[in-house]
Every structure is written in structure tokens, then in C-alpha cells.
């Protein structure tokens, strides 16, 4: 699993992807969008707190229902509905929240998982199995020797490099898609 720093980098990167969207920048300050991005990108890990509250074990519920695409969809729709007051903004804001929430799940699926069962319950409630992607691009944390283990520091350094690069690629692909659609749109007229 990636560190909270890695997930926060995804939230910060998500902020930069949406920062200049005209509909959102009218109604939300940069500070609000940045803080929201970081919180939502880390939100699936609320299962640590739930595991401790209900079972006195931080890891009891980790990578289960809160790491599901379905739960992410429900939470994003609810947050988008209650936070936004303008219908134009609600759709864009909800899609942004959904992307942030899903970034957490996907990063967890791309990280090396040394604690069985590997992966996350991303298809809960339709399937209770754990799923991971067949490739790993992040080392993942090792909590056996504590958070300040040298391997964890290297993992965090890796996240600082890899996660912003992932979002840069996403940003460039979005920009390329927009350019292609505007080019083809002009040719149709």
C-alpha cells in the first residue's frame, strides 16, 4: 500500500488537474480545492479508524469496503450533492471527487502488497474477493519494522517521483484528447 504522502500527492495532482476549471474556480478557492483533494484522495483509508473503533485493530477492515469502486461512487455523489449548490458545478465537482477517490484505489492496486490477502475489495458489494493489478509500480509500505524503516523512506521517495509523473501523463493525455477533439470538431464544420 502507498503511504499517506503518496495518496496526498495524488490529491495535490488532482488539484492541479482541476484548478483552472472555470466552473469550479468561480465557487471554490484554491485552498478549498487543494484541501478537498488531499482529504478525498486519502478517504478510503478511513477504514483504519473504523477497524480500531469497532474491533480495536487498525488493520481489521483495511482494504475492504472503503476501497470499493461502488462505495467511492456513492460517497462522491453524496459529497457532490451536499457540497455544491449550483447544478452546473455539481456534475464537474462530483466527477472530480470520484477521480480522487478512485486514484486511491488504483494506487493501492499498483503497489506491492506484502500482507495477505493481496489487493483491495474494489468490486464490493458484488464480489468480496481482493484484486490487484498484475504490475506493481510502487514498492508499498512495510510496517513490520515501523514507519521509519529505511525501506519505507525509499518507498516515499519513490512515490514523490512516480505519482506526479503518473498525473503528468494523465494531464498530457487529457490535453491531447482535447486538442484532437477540437481539431476534428473544426474539420466537421
Give alpha helix (H) positions in the chain. Answer: 4-18, 22-27, 30-42, 47-55, 69-83, 87-110, 150-188
How much is the pLDDT for 189?
Answer: 45
Q: pLDDT digit of tens for each residue in the chain (189 aa)?
A: 889 999 999 999 999 888 877 778 788 889 999 999 999 999 999 999 999 999 999 889 999 999 999 999 999 999 998 888 766 778 889 999 999 999 999 999 999 988 788 899 999 999 999 999 999 989 888 877 777 788 889 999 999 999 999 999 988 988 888 888 777 765 454
Greatest CA span in the chain, whole angstroms? 64
How much is the pLDDT for 146?
Answer: 73
What is the tens place of the pLDDT at every residue in 55-71? 999 889 999 999 999 99
DSSP assignment, residue 28?
S
Decide: residue 163, CB within 10 A, 0-12 exposed, 13-18 middle, 19+ buried. buried
- CA dihedral (45, 76, 133, 160) positive or negative: negative
How much is the pLDDT for 151?
Answer: 85
In DSSP terms, 120 is beta-bridged to 131
Q: How far is CA 39 from each of CA 34, 46, 101, 122, 172, rounded to the nearest angstrom?
A: 9, 10, 9, 19, 25
At 181 the three-state DSSP class reads helix
DSSP assignment, residue 44?
G
**Spacing of C-alpha 101 from chain mean position:** 4
Nearest to 39 by CA among 107, 120, 105, 100: 100
Q: What is the pTM of this model?
A: 0.88
- Three cell numbers written together for 56: 480495536
Amino acid at each position: 500500500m502507498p503511504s499517506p504522502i503518496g495518496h496526498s500527492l495524488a490529491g495535490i495532482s488532482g488539484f492541479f488537474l482541476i484548478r483552472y476549471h472555470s466552473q469550479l474556480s468561480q465557487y471554490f478557492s484554491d485552498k478549498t480545492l487543494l484541501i478537498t483533494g488531499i482529504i478525498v484522495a486519502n478517504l478510503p483509508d478511513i477504514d483504519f479508524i473504523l477497524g480500531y473503533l469497532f474491533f480495536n485493530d487498525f488493520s481489521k477492515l483495511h482494504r475492504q469496503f472503503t476501497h470499493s469502486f461502488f462505495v467511492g461512487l456513492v460517497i462522491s455523489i453524496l459529497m457532490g450533492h451536499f457540497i455544491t449548490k449550483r447544478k452546473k458545478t455539481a456534475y464537474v465537482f462530483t466527477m472530480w471527487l470520484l477521480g480522487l477517490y478512485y486514484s486511491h484505489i488504483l494506487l493501492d492496486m499498483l503497489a506491492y502488497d506484502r500482507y495477505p490477502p493481496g489487493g483491495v475489495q474494489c468490486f464490493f458489494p458484488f464480489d468480496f474477493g481482493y484484486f490487484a493489478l498484475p504490475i506493481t509500480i510502487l514498492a508499498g509500505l512495510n510496517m513490520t519494522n515501523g514507519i521509519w524503516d529505511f525501506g519505507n523512506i525509499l518507498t516515499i521517495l519513490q512515490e514523490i517521483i512516480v505519482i506526479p509523473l503518473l498525473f503528468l501523463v494523465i494531464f498530457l493525455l487529457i490535453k491531447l484528447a482535447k486538442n484532437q477533439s477540437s481539431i476534428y470538431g473544426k474539420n466537421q464544420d
